[in-house]
Amino acid sequence: EAGVTQFPSHSVIEKGQTVTLRCDPISGHDNLYWYRRVMGKEIKFLLHFVKESKQDESGMPNNRFLAERTGGTYSTLKVQPAELEDSGVYFCASSRGREAVEKLFFGSGTQLSVL
């Protein structure tokens, strides 16, 4: 069974540019989460999808961030325009419906550097 896949693994962009991160969850997993770790600090929750619906987006920093999960399969996280403080590692995680956070499977993350 394939794990959670994130693409790209690294992205280096200039301030003001746009970047789109992609996450492919494990097949059959209804729950999809985005988390972020900035500058070696704690990993912080961004948002939670159940299938294609946003269940909780309370962790999204501001309106420069847009997450989508069309069709309830893969998800994208777009940052537009990127700012320096957006640099960090963006993790995606998925789980089956009933297990939610108890059995989360994480991807390897996308290292985003905004210069």
* Residues contributing to the site for another protein (CB under 8 A): 3-4, 9, 31, 33, 35, 37, 40-45, 48, 55-56, 59, 91, 93, 100-109
CB 52 to another protein: min, Å: 16
CB 81 to another protein: min, Å: 27
Secondary structure (3-state) at 92: strand
Structure tokens at 73: 């399969």
Residue 19 vs 48, nearer CB to another protein: 48
Q: How far is CA 27 from the centre of its chain?
A: 17
Secondary structure (3-state) at 5: strand
CB 48 to another protein: min, Å: 6
CA–CA dist 67, 46 (Å, integer):
10
**Among candidates 115, 89, 108, which has minimal Cα distance to 6?**
108
Residue 28 vs 40, nearer CB to another protein: 40
Residue 33 vs 65, nearer CB to another protein: 33
**Contact between 9 and 111 (Cβ < 8 Å):** yes
Residue 40 vs 71, nearer CB to another protein: 40
